[in-house]
Amino acid sequence: MTRHELRERRKALPGQGRRGEMMQAELAELLGYHENTVRKWENGHQPIPPVLGRALRDVEREITERAEAEQAEQDAEHRHNYERATAFGRYLHDYYNQP
């Protein structure tokens, strides 16, 4: 993995950066390294360990799975709210349209 690939993959992950991308400090914490180490990798001042590619894939997979689970929860909540609103709407319709 090159330093440019590392930077692009980091920025593709969601985080607290100005544009919503993951910051170096966030990636460092997830990988168990110091922020300065990630900075040195991206600047080319320190070689990137070969194992980093696999660790980064694991982080990407975990973040994706977490986002999918959160989306599923939101979808379920929206369905629940829609069903409640629909049931209430039917109740009101029936109430106001009684003979």
pLDDT in tens, the chain (99 residues): 999 999 999 999 998 888 999 999 999 999 999 999 999 999 999 999 999 999 999 999 999 898 899 889 999 999 999 999 999 999 998 999 987
Query: Euclidean distance between the first and final Cα of the chain, in Å?
Result: 74
Q: Find the largest Cα–Cα distance for the chain.
A: 82
Domain contains 97: no
Q: What is the DSSP letter of 99?
A: -
Domain contains 99: no
pLDDT of residue 85: 92
Please tell me the total count of domains within the chain: 1
Q: Which domain holds residue 63?
A: 3-74
Domain contains 29: yes
What CATH code is carried by the domain that includes residue 61? 1.10.260
Half-sphere exposure of 59 (CA within 13 A, CB side): 21
